[in-house]
Structure 1
Amino acid sequence: MDYRSNLPERVEVLGAPIDPWTMEETVEATDRIVSGGLFAHLIGVNADKLLQMRDDPWMDACVRRCEVVNADGASMVMAAERLGVAVPERVAGVDLMRELCALAERKGRPVYLLGAKAEVVTKAAEALMRDFPALRIAGYRDGYFGEDEFDRVVEQVADAGPAIVFVGITSPKKERLIERFRELGAKGAFMGVGGTFDVVSGCIPRAPMWMQRANLEWLFRMAQEPRRLVKRYVVGNARFFRILREAERAQRR
């Protein structure tokens, strides 16, 4: 099955591959993947992920191998526009997760939540069951395990039989875990969602809509977790915009 049929072809933005799809097209592609019994690693690229790709050859290769690569950051959509690359919209991870839960509810497909602290992932599962009453949650567990336990976790998740797995673990551990699912022959859609379980569970609030629309969600997140995120956003964003300016100068030449 060609899950990319009739969807826009992949482009590159600042050297990162991007599927220039809307939210609706991303959900459509994921539906085709699950229906066809395929494996897919869904990943979102933002400024931080772009920098990880430039610093880590393994991460660069991983992102290029992923079956679905969204522009998860407003910075990537803005960069695409400034460089004349057509990327229709930002597909935010937290929003995509909810859309995929809605898809799973409609189609009767089970989902699995993997990651965060035990109390956080439990609250996230409870919140999703309230928001999507017919959603089948095949299981959930925390993300506190080492890479030496990956195979055991893969087996545990596989035994639950989910069609979609949301992995709420930090990078690069979550990417390495999802790729281990690939290596061991797993089927289904596996989406890295970072700290989204904290938002879904209500443990950390999401930015108000006006900040989301103004592309300031990063600022709200940094205010919530300054010790963890100041370096990522302040230093990382400054480096990202230097890369963008260099790309613009090279394009003019």
Structure 2
Amino acid sequence: MKIVSILGVKIHPLTMRETIEIVDRDFIQKSKPLHLMGVNADKINQCVDDSGMLEIVNNCDVVNADGASVVLAGRYLGIDIPERVAGIDLMQELLKISEDKNYPVYFFGAKEAVLQKMLENLKLDYPNLQVVGQRNGYFSDEEIDDISNDIRTKGPKLVFVGITSPKKEYVIEKFLSDGVNSVFMGVGGSFDVLSGTIPRAPKWMQKAHLEWLFRVANEPRRLFKRYFVGNVTFIKRVIKFKKEKHA
């Protein structure tokens, strides 16, 4: 796969269709473990500030541009990234494949009530989906080995991890180091959206690259700093990088 880089962070310039094909053919069907990564401005900022996060991202076999800001930054820097591969959309596409091909899945994350409501909704949308395990996202350090063993024992092809970053990335790496041969995908707040707890932006806002603004409007206390302060920081870093590159 072709690899590009923004601020030292690896990205595979893949479309949604290409991503699904690669994940299914090269990892799920071969029972090969994978940390399926999506990066947005916030994640790239984390990588710049945290060498451990940078190492995790750059060691992932599939890294999507999960943010309009990343696609736009690529254009500004002369880097071709074909499209945004939104995490929640990719998750739903992988759920469709899992239902069609009878791939067992596991859900790990969110509050218990949110998790259960999401599972109820998924039964309606994917009635033949084989869910082999579930666990809310609240746990102590002492429980992490038991969770890892539970996932390994139940043998899901895909594990969707709906806990906050950067915790989820380090937890996924822990599971992989324990030898769990699943495809792990960190999905952030997707459990909240799929449960109906938090609405998703209308299609026109998604197409206009304004989904982030809709999210901030719905969760201002939690997301204002991440998107407004974080995006400004990201833009400044990208502009500085371009200036230094052409100096």
Q: TM-score range by the shorter chain?
A: over 0.9
User: Aligned-pair distance for 1:199?
Assistant: 0.2
1:40-75 CA distances to partner (integer Å, 9 max, x unpaired)?
A: 001110000001001111101011111211000000
Structure 2 unaligned runs (5+)?
none
User: TM-score w.r.t. structure 2 length?
Assistant: 0.97
Matched, 1:223 2:217: yes
CA distance in 1, matches of 2:145, 2:22: 28
CA distance in 1, matches of 2:204, 2:104: 33
Structure 2 counterparts to residues 199-218 of structure 1, below 5 A:
199-218=193-212
The corresponding residue for 1:85 is 79
Question: Which residue, 25, 36, 40 being the options, matches 2:18?
Answer: 25
CA distance in 1, matches of 2:128, 2:205: 31
User: Which secondary structure state, in structure 2, belongs to the residue aligned with residue 17 of structure 1?
Assistant: strand
User: Aligned-pair distance for 1:147?
Assistant: 2.8
User: Which secondary structure state, in structure 1, belongs to the residue aligned with residue 36 of structure 2?
Assistant: strand
Structure 2 counterparts to residues 110-189 of structure 1, below 5 A:
110-189=104-183
The corresponding residue for 1:15 is 8
1:70-106 CA distances to partner (integer Å, 9 max, x unpaired)?
A: 0000000111111111111000000000000011111
Matched, 1:37 2:39: no
CA distance in 1, matches of 2:211, 2:32: 33
Q: Is the 8 A contact 2:68 2:84 kept in 1?
A: yes
User: Which secondary structure state, in structure 2, belongs to the residue aligned with residue 90 of structure 1?
Assistant: coil
User: Aligned-pair distance for 1:193?
Assistant: 0.4
User: Which secondary structure state, in structure 1, belongs to the residue aligned with residue 138 of structure 2?
Assistant: coil
Give the total of aligned pairs: 246
The corresponding residue for 1:59 is 53
User: Which secondary structure state, in structure 2, belongs to the residue aligned with residue 41 of structure 1?
Assistant: strand
Which range moves more in the overlay, 10-19 or 68-77? 10-19
User: Aligned-pair distance for 1:248?
Assistant: 2.2
CA distance in 1, matches of 2:179, 2:6: 31
CA distance in 2, matches of 1:60, 1:147: 23
CA distance in 2, matches of 1:126, 1:22: 30
CA distance in 1, matches of 2:51, 2:113: 35
Q: Is the 8 A contact 2:155 2:182 kept in 1?
A: no
Structure 1 runs (4+) greater than 3 angstroms displaced: none
CA distance in 1, matches of 2:141, 2:80: 38
CA distance in 2, matches of 1:178, 1:147: 14
Q: Is the 8 A contact 1:17 1:69 kept in 2?
A: yes
CA distance in 2, matches of 1:62, 1:120: 28
Question: Which residue, 228, 233, 240 being the options, matches 2:227?
Answer: 233
The corresponding residue for 2:246 is 252
Superposition CA RMSD, Å = 1.0
User: TM-score w.r.t. structure 1 length?
Assistant: 0.95
User: Aligned-pair distance for 1:155?
Assistant: 0.8
User: Which secondary structure state, in structure 2, belongs to the residue aligned with residue 36 of structure 1?
Assistant: coil
Structure 1 unaligned runs (5+)?
1-7
Structure 2 counterparts to residues 91-110 of structure 1, below 5 A:
91-110=85-104
CA distance in 1, matches of 2:155, 2:33: 13
Q: Is the 8 A contact 1:105 1:135 kept in 2?
A: yes
CA distance in 1, matches of 2:145, 2:86: 29
